[in-house]
Amino acid sequence: MSESRTPDLYLRVAIAVLIGILLEVVIAAAFLLSRLPAGAAIGHIFDALLALNSVQALWYVTRAAGIIAYLLLWLSTAWGLAVSSKILDPVLHRAFTYDFHQFLSVLAIGFVVLHVAVLVGDRYLPFSIAAVLIPFASPYRPVWVGVGIIAFYLSLLVSVTFYIRSWIGIKTFRAIHTASFIAFFGAALHGLLSGTDSPLTAMQLVYAGTTLVVVFLTAYWAILAWLNHARPQTVANPPRGVPLRATNRPPTG
C-alpha cells in the first residue's frame, strides 16, 4: 500500500466510525432524556420524530444494523477472495482493491458494534452485556447467538491484522486471514438461525445467494492456488550461441 493512500484510508475509516458513534450517542441520549422528568418535553419531541415510545423502536434499529453488518461482511469476504484470485486486476488498480477490502472490513465491524450496543438498550428483547460478549451465555438461542459472537471476534482479529501486517509478516497475515471464512459462515448461521427476519423469503434468498457466491469464489481461489502450486517452475534455457546477459566476469581481450 502506498503511503499517499494511507491518509485517505484512515480518513474514511474515521468517518465511518464517527457516524456509528454519532448514531449510538443520539439513540442513547434520546432514550435517556425521554425518561428524565426534566427532559420530558425533549422526550416527546424524540417520540414524535423517532417513535421511541414504541417498545419495538430499538428492535428495528438493531435488526437493520445486523443485516447491514452481515452484507458488509459478505462483501468484504467476497472482495478479499476476488483480490486473492486477481479477478479484479484487469479493471481496478490493486492498491485500490486492497484499500477497499480493508475499509469494508472496518465498516462491517462498526455496524456489528451498533447492532450489539442497541441490542443491550432494547426493551423488546433485552440482552445483558455478558450475553452479547460471552459466547453461549445468551438466554435467547444461546448456540447460534454464541456462534455470532465468535464470528465477530474472528472478524475483529482479521481486521486488526490490516494495521499490523508489517509487524507479523505476510505469512502470518495470510494465515490469520483464513479465519475470515469461519467468520462469514458463522455470521450466516447466526443470522439464519437466530434472526427474527429469517423466516422471510427475502432474507432466505439473501443468505442463500451470499453463501453461494462465497462458496464459488472460494472454490475458484482454491483451484487457482492448486494449479499455481502444481505448475512446474522451469527456467527457459537460452538458445545456443546466445551468451547470458548477466555475468560477473570482467571483459576479456
Please say whether the beta carbons of 188 and 219 come within 8 A: no
Print the SS3 string covering the chain: CCCCCHHHHHHHHHHHHHHHHHHHHHHHHHHHHCCCHHHHHHHHHHHHHHCCCCCCHHHHHHHHHHHHHHHHHHHHHHHHHHHHCCCCCCCCCHHHHHHHHHHHHHHHHHHHHHHHHHHHHCCCCCCCHHHHHCCCCCCCCHHHHHHHHHHHHHHHHHHHHCCCHHHHCHHHHHHHHCHHHHHHHHHHHHHHHHCCCCCCHHHHHHHHHHHHHHHHHHHHHHHHHHHHHHCCCCCCCCCCCCCCCCCCCCCCC
Q: Residue 55's pLDDT is what? A: 61
Q: Residue 235's pLDDT is what? A: 47
> What are the mean pLDDT values of the chain's consecutive 10-residue runs (253 residues total)?
50 61 60 58 62 66 90 94 87 85 90 89 79 91 95 94 90 90 95 90 93 94 84 54 45 45
Cell (9 digits) for 240? 545456443
Cell (9 digits) for 160? 486488526
Domain boundaries, the chain: 58-226
Please say whether the beta carbons of 31 and 52 come within 8 A: yes
Q: Residue 210's pLDDT is what? A: 96
Q: Residue 64's pLDDT is what? A: 87
Cα distance between residue 12 and residue 185, in whole Å: 27
Cα distance between residue 138 and residue 152, in whole Å: 15
Cα distance between residue 73 and residue 113, in whole Å: 13
Q: Residue 184's pLDDT is what? A: 96
Please say whether the beta carbons of 115 and 73 come within 8 A: no
For 31-42, letters b (16+ CB in 10 Å) and e give bebbeeeebeee
Cα distance between residue 149 and residue 187, in whole Å: 9
Residue type at 11 in one-letter notation: L
